[in-house]
Structure 1
Amino acid sequence: MVSHICHCLFICLFAAMTSPKISSLSWGSMRVEGGGRYKDCKVWPGGSRAWDWRETGTDHRPGVQPADLEEVLKKGVNTLVIGRGMNEVLQVPQRTIDHVQSQGVECVVHQTERAVDEYNKMAAAGKKVGGVFHSTC
């Protein structure tokens, strides 16, 4: 009985510490395993949520702000992936990349389909990866 409880606890803790797979992506919709369906999303080891641009006043230009990334960075990721949208309309200013790197975190920026592929590869390899992804323009 005790060994079964310990085994279950280990599985729960391991699942909470792994980055969830983004299982589907299409224009305006992303599905995250163990999370839900989002238009834009933030993911980190153990969780995900909608990325609501209104929280920080983000727009396509000037683009992703350091404040958009703080929640994910606080989760202890080693790499942060940013998806700029299907047509790469969402900008990522150099100051935002510099902010991420100043915390010792690698910053990867791509068109969203490529960003999701890169993120999923890192997550499958057990890396402490997080991301923010825009699923439209």
Structure 2
Amino acid sequence: MTSPQIASLSWGRMKVQDCATAYKDCKVWPGGSRPWDWRETGTDHYPGVQAADVEEIVNKGVRTLVIGCGMSEALQVPSATLDYLRNKGVDVKVLQTQVAVREYNALAGGGARVGGVFHSTC
């Protein structure tokens, strides 16, 4: 199963290949995607992305996780989350969202078992 490409990105809007839904923030993994609703885990820009935000994707068997931390990089990624990912054997890349989407698409296009969480504003 391959990871879907991010088909388009603009401020506050993302489209995932073969998905009719547009997302503000999204999670993607081999074979799927869904909205990333920060209210599920109490996430906010600070302290940022929590292990609970990425656990679902890790459980899909990804080898690499790309985190898009916003267009202006306002979303933080605490060391506890990075430690969680490394302890699970997942390589993590934290990048500005436009750069993160390019990196994710390159990895997905190359057949990597890659997942991502992307914040499309601030």
Band the TM-score falls in, shorter-chain normalisation: over 0.9
Aligned counterpart in structure 2 of residue 58 of structure 1, from 43, 59, 66: 43
Q: CA RMSD in A?
A: 0.5
Greater relative CO, 1 or 2 (CA 8 Å, sep 6+):
2
Q: Are 1:26 and 2:17 counterparts?
A: no
Q: Which has the larger radius of gyration?
A: 1
The structure richer in strand per residue is 2
Equivalent residue, structure 2, for 1:44: 29
CA offset digits 1:66-102 (Å, max 9, x no partner): 0000110000000000000000000000110110010
For normalisation by structure 2, the TM-score amounts to 0.98
> How high is the sequence identity, in percent, across the aligned residues?
66
CA offset digits 1:1-30 (Å, max 9, x no partner): xxxxxxxxxxxxxxxx10000010000000
1:104 counterpart letter in structure 2: G
Deviation at 1:34, TM superposition (A): 1.8
Equivalent residue, structure 2, for 1:130: 115
Deviation at 1:115, TM superposition (A): 0.3
How many corresponding residue pairs? 121
Q: For structure 1, which runs of at least 5 residues remain unmatched after alignment?
A: 1-16
CA offset digits 1:16-75 (Å, max 9, x no partner): x10000010000000001222100000000000000000000000000000000110000
Provide the secondary structure at the position in 2 that maps to 1:82.
strand
Provide the secondary structure at the position in 1 that maps to 2:49.
coil
The structure richer in helix per residue is 1
For normalisation by structure 1, the TM-score amounts to 0.87
- How many Å separate the matches in 1 of 2:68 and 2:36? 12
1:1-137 matches, cutoff 5 A = 17-35=1-19, 36-137=21-122
